[in-house]
Structure 1
C-alpha cells in the first residue's frame, strides 16, 4: 500500500518500541500523568499481555489503542481500584480499552475514530459484550457522546484526573455507526484493514456459520462449486437422508412443488407423536428451530424479562433475547477447566435466586459438545422457582440417545419446553422442519401464533419418511462417532501445542496455542484450500480467539480438513504482530 493509505494492524515488535516512546511523549511530557524517564520510554506492567492496534500511513505510525482482554486475569484499572470496585467485577466478558493515542500532528484526522472502530470490532470478534475505560475528566463530553457511561468513580494519576467509564459493545458500535457510519462506509475500500475480523458486522448482528454457501454461490448459479467445497462450518449431516426420503420426493416432484401442504402439518404431528410416544396436543411444529424460537420467545418475553443463557451457547438465543426482544440477559459461565460441563449445584443456586423468567439450555450443547445427563437436570428444574420457564434445545440429542430426552417432562409440566430439530440428526437441514414439546395448554398457545402451512410439503413428506426409518439413522449416528474419533486423531497429530476437544455430537473443537495463529486466521487460510471451518470466538470470550469448531464430514472430506489445517498451521505469521489499519 502507498503512503496515502492509513493501515490498521496488530502491533509488531517494532511498533511496540514506538508505542513506548509515544506514550512517554504524551502521558509523561505532555500531560504530566507519569514521571519523565531519561530513556524517553514509558512501559506498563501489562505490555506482555495487552493487544495493541496501530494505525500507520506507510512507514509513519499515526496512533494506537490498547486492549486488555478478560482472560489476562487483571486490568490496568486495578492500579487505582480494587477488583470489587471495578465496573462489572464478576463478569468474564469485559474488555478494558486504554490509551487511545494519536501523534499530535495527526489528531485532526480520522485516525482516532478508526482506531476506536477497530477496537470495537476486535472486541466483538472475541465475544466481548462490555468495555471499561478511563477517560480524562475534561473530555467527558466526548466519551458520553460515544456511548460510554460514568461508573461513579474518579481516579487521579499524576496531574491528570480520570472518570471510570463503562459501556455495552453493541451500544457503542451503534453510536459509532450513527456518528461515523457514512464515513466508515466510504473509507472501507480505502483502508488497508489488516485485522483478523471483518471491517463491519453482519447486518442482523447474529453470528452463524454458513460462509461456505457464499463460496458455493448464494444466487444458485454456480452450484457445481459445492463439490469442491468442504462445508465444515455448519453442522449439517455428512450422510444423506434415509432412502425413503428420496423415494417420496422423487415420485412426483411436479405435484410436490405446486401443491399446498396440510395446513396444520397434521400428518407430521401424528408421526412425531407416534415415534416419540407423546400426545399430539403437546406438539407444535415450525420451519426449523429458529422459527419456533422467534415465535415462542416473542410471545413469552418482553424487554422487562430476565433470561439466563449458558456461555458459550448457540448464538441464536442471545440474538433473539438481547437484540430482537431486548431482554435483560445474564450468562451462566461454562469453563474450559471444568471441561465445559454444567455444574448442577451451581446452576441450581443461580436459578434459585428467583430472578429468571426463562432459562435456556442447549443439551447437548452447541458449541461445546457437552451433554448434561437428564438425571442431573431434572431435580434442578423441578426445584426451580415456579415463575421460571425452561427451554431445552435437544437438536443433537440423538447422538446420546432418546432416553436422555426431557420431552416427557415437558409434555406434563407448564414450566418446561423441549425444542427438537429434524435438521441435523435426520440430514434434513435444507427442509427446515422442527417441533417443540410442551404441556398441551402451552403448546396450544404456540399453535395459535403459528400461521397456516408452517412447514412446506416437501419438508413434511421428507420428515415423515425419515421418522419411519430409525434403523438407518442409528447406523449413520454410530458411524458419525467413528468418523469424529478419526478426525480428532488426525487433527491432534498436527502439532503438540494444538488441543482437540471432542464432543458427543457431529463436531469437535480445535484449540490453538496462544503464540500461533488466531482462530480467524486459521479459518481464513483454510478457506483458501476450499475448507470452511467455524471461528467460535464471537460467541464467547471464553474461547480467547483461539478455538475453531469443525463439523464431522465423511472420511475423504475429513482428510481434506486435516490437510488444510496442517497447511494453515505451517504458515509463518508476518511480524508476529497485533492489528493495524490503513486509510486514505
Structure 2
C-alpha cells in the first residue's frame, strides 16, 4: 500500500459503490442475500449508519459500517431480541458491521485499517462498548483484535455469524500494544481524513487545554497568550483579588525559594474560619485532582463498584476505570430532561446497595446543571449506609455558597465534599483545593498526604483570596452577564445550532444532526486562534456534535463569536450569514484584541 491510501468518512458518491460492493460480496459471492436485478444491496440502517471508506487513489478499497446508540436500533435487532441480547440496551454501545474489502485487496492491511479506524471513531464519540457480527470463518481475525464471543450465533442466508463484543478501552490497549508496529506502518502509509486523531493520546485524562500547546508548553513563546483565546479550559476570565497579586509580588524571590508551612496549617485555619467548619474536618491538596487521586487510591480497589454521572467530569472516569480499575456504572443524564439528575431514578439505582461510591459534580461539568442541596440531602439520607458520596463543588460559587453540603460532610461519614479554589478564585495556575469530611475520614487523608502538599505561592494566594469575598462576588455576577451575552450572540449565528447555558462560567453549543462534527468546528475555530472543547469523547449523549465554550472577557467573547461564525460559514454553507460578513467579524474581533 502506498502513501496515496486514504481513510475517510463516506461521501454521497461513495454510497452507490458501497451498495454495489455489498451486492457483489453478500449476494453473489457469499449467498447471505438473494441477488437482485439492480445489482445493489442497500441497508435499512443507511440513514443512521456512518460508513468509513478506504481508497487508493481513485479506486475504492473497502468500507465498514458503524451504527451509533442514538440511532435507537441495530442490525442485530433483525436476529435477536433485546431480551435475548441485553447488551443491545446499553446506552454507550456502538455496532460495527459489514466490514467489506474488494477481492484484490483482501491480502493487504485494508481490513485491519478499517477495524482500527472504526475503533478510533467510536472512542471519539464517547463509545465504551462495541458489538459486532463476525463471520465464523473469519473468527480468528476478530478474536485477535480483542473481541470476544457473547455466546450467541446467528444465521443469515448461507452464512453463520458469531456475536462479539468488547470494551473500547481494552480494544484500544490491544491495538496499541499487540499491534503497535502495524499501527505505526499504517500511520505512515495512510492519508487519514477522519475528524479524530489517528492515535489515542497519552494514558491520562483529557482535560482540553490544547490552547496551552498553541501558546507553547516550553514557555518560550508566552507572548502568544495574548493572541490565543483559551475557551477550552474553565479557568476564570478575571484576575485574582488584588491581595493575591500583592502577596505574590511583594517578595517573589523569597516566595520561590522558601519551603511552605509543612501541613498548610494557615490555609486550613483560614478555610475553617471562612467556611465555618472545624479544622479537623479538612484536608488540602494541590488542586482537586490531587485530592481525588489520594482519596480514591486509599478507598477503592478493582473490586469496588462506583456510580458516575454521565456526562460528567472526565477525571473521575479516568481514576476509577483506568488507574484503579474499579467496576464503574453510569447514571445517564439526558438532554431531553434538561440534563438534570432525576432524584427518584437515582435513588432507585443507588438503593440497590451495590455501590461503594457515588460521585456527583454539582454544578455538573460539562452539563452546567445544579442539583438543589435539599434534593441531595434527601438522596443521601435514603441511601444504604455502605455507600459513600463524593460531592464536587468546584463551581458552586456561581450558584450560591449556601448550597454547599460541606456542613453535612463534616459530620456524616458517608459524605465528602471536594472544593477546588482554582476556578472560582482565579487560582488555576497555583493549584489549591480542599476537601471536607468527618474528622476521622479527613485525618486518614491527611495521614497519607506528603509534607508540603501545597506550595508557598499557592498557600499565600489562597489565603488572600478567601479574605476578599467581595472581589469574587462581583466577578461571579459579571460572569453571568457575559455568559448570557455570549449565548445570545452564538444563538444568533445560525438558527440550526442549539445553545445551552450553564449556571457557571461556560455554555455548550450543539450542531444540527447531519451537519459537521464538533471536532471539525473545533479545528476551524483554531485557525483563528480560538480554542473550544469538543465534548464528544466524554459521552455518546453528545452524539459527536457538542462543544463547550468557557466564558471569557468581552473582547475574548467577541473573538469566539467571530470565529464561530466564520467556521459555520465554511461548515454549513446554507446558513444565512454572508461569507463576507463572517470575514468582517473575524477581522473586527482581531483588531479589537
Q: What TM-score bracket applies, with the shorter chain setting the length?
A: over 0.9
User: Whole-Å Cα distance in 2 between the matches of residues 533 and 231 of structure 1?
Assistant: 7
Deviations 1:293-333 (A, max 9, x none): 00000000000000000000000000000000000000000
Hey, what's the Cα distance between the residues in 2 that align with 1:540 and 1:497? 22
Instruction: Classify 1:458/1:165 alpha carbon distance in 2 versus 1 (closer, same or farther; 3 Å).
Output: same
User: 1:449-472 CA distances to partner (integer Å, 9 max, x unpaired)?
Assistant: 100000000000000000000000
Q: Which residue of 2 aligns with 1:386?
A: 385
The Cα of 1:383 is off from its aligned counterpart by 1.0
Q: In structure 1, what is the Cα distance between the partners aligned to 2:492 and 2:515?
A: 16
Match of 1:62 in 2: 61
Give the direction of change, closer, same or farther, for the CA distance of 1:166–1:87 in structure 2 (3 Å limit). farther
CA distance in 1, matches of 2:128, 2:99: 19
Query: CA–CA distance in 2 between the matches of 1:113 and 1:187?
Result: 9
Distance in 1 (CA, whole Å) between partners of 2:179 and 2:111 is: 12
Structure 1 residue 205 displacement after superposition: 4.3
CA contact (8 A) 1:512 1:519 kept: yes
Residue equivalent to 2:313: 314
Instruction: Give the SS at the match of 1:207.
Output: coil
1:573 deviates by 6.8
The count of residues paired between Structure 1 and Structure 2 equals: 573
SS of the equivalent of 1:431 reads coil
Asked whether the 8 Å contact 1:369–1:508 carries over to 2, the reply is: yes
Q: Alpha-carbon deviation of 1:141? A: 2.3
Q: For residue 262 of structure 1, report the CA deviation from its aligned partner.
A: 0.3
Closer/same/farther in 2, CA of residues 371 and 572 from structure 1, 3 Å limit: closer
Q: Is the 8 A contact 1:87 1:151 kept in 2?
A: no
Other-structure match for 2:232? 233
Query: Which deviates further from its counterpart, 298-307 or 131-140?
Result: 131-140
Deviations 1:89-112 (A, max 9, x none): 331100000011111100111111
Q: Secondary structure at the match of 2:272?
A: helix
In 2, the alpha carbon distance for the partners of 1:456 and 1:180 equals: 43
Q: Distance in 2 between matches of 1:355 and 1:144?
A: 32
Structure 1 residue 184, shift from structure 2 partner: 1.6
CA distance in structure 2 between the aligned counterparts of 1:205 and 1:219, rounded to whole angstroms: 20
For 1:107-506, list aligned pairs within 5 A. 107-506=106-505
Report the counterpart of residue 579 of structure 1 in structure 2. none
* 1:345 shift after superposition: 0.5
Contact between 1:77 and 1:86, CA under 8 Å: does it hold in 2? no
> What is residue 590 of structure 2 aligned with on the other side?
none
Distance 1:441 1:262, change over 3 A: same
What RMSD, in angstroms, separates the aligned Cα atoms of the two structures?
A: 1.1
Contact 1:397-1:405 at 8 Å conserved across structures: yes
Residue 89 of structure 2: SS of its match in structure 1? coil
Q: Find the aligned partners of 1:186 and 1:466 in 2 and give their Cα distance.
A: 52
List gaps (5 residues or longer) in structure 2: 574-593
User: 1:246-281, CA deviations, whole angstroms, 9 ceiling, x for partnerless residues?
Assistant: 101100000000000001000000000000000000
Aligned residue in 2 for 1:560:
559
> How many angstroms does 1:87 deviate by?
4.6
* Alpha-carbon distance between aligned partners in 2 of 1:276 and 1:244, rounded to the nearest angstrom: 19
2:506–2:548: 8 Å Cα contact kept in structure 1? yes
Q: Deviations over 1:66-125 (max 9, x none)?
A: 000000010010011112323523311000000111111001111111111110010000
Once the two structures are TM-superposed, the CA of residue 151 in structure 1 deviates from its matched residue by: 1.1
Q: Can you give the 5+ residue segments of structure 1 that lack an aligned partner in the other structure?
A: 575-584
Q: Distance in 2 between matches of 1:109 and 1:395?
A: 51
Alpha-carbon distance, 1:180 to partner: 2.1
**Mapping 1:39-118, distance limit 5 Å:** 39-118=38-117
Aligned to 2:22: 23
CA apart distance, 1:208: 1.3
2:240–2:426 Cα contact (<8 Å) kept: yes
Q: Would the aligned equivalents of 2:3 and 2:188 in 1 still touch at CA under 8 Å?
A: no
Q: Deviations over 1:37-63 (max 9, x none)?
A: 111101110011100000001101001
Other structure's SS at 1:147 match: coil
Instruction: Return the TM-score normalized by structure 2.
Output: 0.95
Q: What is the CA-CA distance between 1:176 and the residue it aligns to?
A: 1.5
Offset of residue 3 of structure 1: 7.0
Select the structure with the greater relative contact order (CA < 8 A; seq sep ≥ 6). 1
User: CA deviation digits over 1:524-561, x for unaligned, max 9?
Assistant: 00000000000000000000000000000000100000
The separation in 1 between residues aligned to 2:170 and 2:249, in whole angstroms, is 50
Instruction: Tell me, in whole angstroms, the C-alpha distance in 2 between the residues paired with 1:187 and 1:133.
Output: 23
- State how far apart, in whole Å, the 2-side matches of 1:477 and 1:573 are: 35
Q: Tell me by how many angstroms 1:572 deviates.
A: 4.5
The residue aligned with 1:581 is none
1:190 offset after TM fit, Å?
A: 3.4
- Distance in 2 (alpha carbons) for counterparts of 1:416 and 1:456: 27
